[in-house]
Amino acid sequence: MKAMSKFWTALVVGVAVMAVTIPSWAAPLTEVTFSTFLSWLGAQVAPELTSAFDFAPTNPDFPGPDGQVTSVVFAGSGPVSGLYVYVYQITHFPSPPSSETKIEGMSFDLLGPWAVPGVLDPGTVAFQVNPNDGIPPDPDYPPPLGYTFGPSLSDATITPGPPGVPPSISFTIPSPFLKPHQVTWIFGFFSPVPPTTTVADVRNTGNTLTSPLVYTPSPEPSVGIMFGLGLLGIPIFGALRRKFRK
């Protein structure tokens, strides 16, 4: 516990120094192939979390929900061993039921520290998986039946909060944005600590009625998810098929 306390203290000090020296950290996401992404994934450590979001309808004939965010967390493998891999995908439902024309991105609080391993391009904090590299050619992988991929994400921004407020991470979907009947590329980042949950803000031009719940690094290395998840040991391929089809 003493070693972990020193580890946690060093991480907190590092984040605090960054918060003092720079207002935010923004950069394009490192783009990787599906095979590279799969090489990072060990055992699944949190069950698939799929949570809907809903905006005040611009067309009352098409009430929400407008889409969903799927998140899942894996133990890192290979070059990211010792870290956790946090993975996300946003689905914009067809219209109807979605009444919105576009989704511009998503942000949420980082309740615990993040990590920038050497597998990322210099200066970046997150990655995205290119779905057009031909790997794998398996129809069970995204996009789900009837959906297409939206544009690649343009950047990830980490913004330190004021004292006592955690930093936030924000992902941007550039124009033409995420349209109905589209899903984002898979995207994510790394952390040295296991997950807990937080409420995310999915951005568009309307007022939010319902926000999704997503995984985020936990505020204490010993906390994580307290409802007995453990290492589930779910096979990588089966887990990916299930979590990104929805």
Listed ranges 10-19, 69-78, 131-140, 208-217; the one with the highest mean pLDDT: 69-78
pLDDT band at 66 (very low <50, low <70, confident <90, very high): confident
Range with the lowest mean pLDDT among 62-66, 204-208, 237-241?
Answer: 237-241
Q: What is the mean pLDDT of the chain?
A: 79
For 104-162, the pLDDT digits (tens) are 999 999 999 999 999 999 999 999 999 877 555 444 444 566 788 999 999 999 999 88
For 22-53, the pLDDT digits (tens) are 467 789 999 999 999 999 999 999 999 999 98
Exposure string for 68-103, b = 16+ CB within 10 A, e = fewer: bbbbbbbbbbeebeebbbbbbbbbbbeeeebbbbbb
CA distances from 91 to 52, 185, 208 (A): 9, 10, 16
Torsional sign, CA 69, 185, 135, 80? negative
In the chain, domain spans: 2-245
Quote the pLDDT of residue 211. Answer: 84
Q: For residues 166 and 18, what is the distance between their CA atoms, to the nearest angstrom? A: 13
Range with the lowest mean pLDDT among 66-75, 99-108, 206-215, 222-231?
Answer: 222-231
| Amino acid identity, position 195 | P
Sorted by sequence, the CB contacts under 8 Å of residue 20 that are 6+ apart come out as none
Higher pLDDT: 78 or 59? It is 78
| Amino acid identity, position 116 | V
Sorted by sequence, the CB contacts under 8 Å of residue 69 that are 6+ apart come out as 50, 51, 53, 88, 89, 90, 91, 106, 200, 202, 212, 214
pLDDT band at 7 (very low <50, low <70, confident <90, very high): very low
DSSP characters over the chain:
-HHHHHHHHHHHHHHHHHHHH-S-EEEPPEEE-HHHHHHTEEEEEEEEEEEEEEE--SSTTS-S--EEEEEEEEEE-GGGTTSEEEEEEEEE--TTT---S-B-EEEEE--S--B--TTSPTT---EEE-TTS-----TTSSSPTT-EE-PPP-EEEEEPPSTTS--EEEEE--TT-B-TTEEPPEEEEEESS-EEEEE-EEESSSPEEE--EEEEE-SSTTTS-TTT-------HHHHHHHHHH-
Quote the pLDDT of residue 81. Answer: 97
Q: Are 117 and 190 in contact (CB under 8 A)?
A: yes
Q: Are 170 and 107 in contact (CB under 8 A)?
A: yes
